Amino acid sequence: MSDENKYNVKKTEAAWKAQLSKEEYKILREKGTEFPFTGKFNDHFEAGTYSCKGCGNPLYNSESKFYSHCGWPSYDDAIEGALELLPDHSGGVFRTEIVCANCGGHQGHVFDDGPTETGLRYCVNSASIDFKKSPSKQ
């Protein structure tokens, strides 16, 4: 992770490993990627908030989620201040990595090919997020 001391949540790698599953650890702490179309939130469209699996920081509102046909949950906007954008030159291509601004956990990448007004596509690993359903309105 990049300069982990700047994040509010500070844990040892042993503590992260105890908290997260092997897949969650690989993605959040080692910048891994889940296989496309395998994540539980790819086809998930309930009303609520998606948060960082590592620390619970709210990242996306369900209103910003759209089906992108790319195999990963996609959003056209993030909650203000929830993410940090980092240059990523891995794999021989330039991309913009997105990490949780609270714990530094890798979420995925953001691209400028989104189909909505923002023009953005936050491409996120299901294993790096959790979901809290909005309370029912009566």
The residues assigned a catalytic role are: 123
Region of 129 please: left (phi>0), alpha (psi -120 to 50) or beta.
beta
From its phi and psi, is residue 66 left (phi > 0), alpha (psi between -120 and 50) or beta? beta
* Sequence letter at residue 26: K
The DSSP output letter for 111 is: E
The residues pairing with 88 across neighbouring beta strands, listed in sequence order, are 95
CA distance 68 to 126: 14
88 Cβ neighbours under 8 A, 6+ residues apart: 94, 95, 96, 97, 109
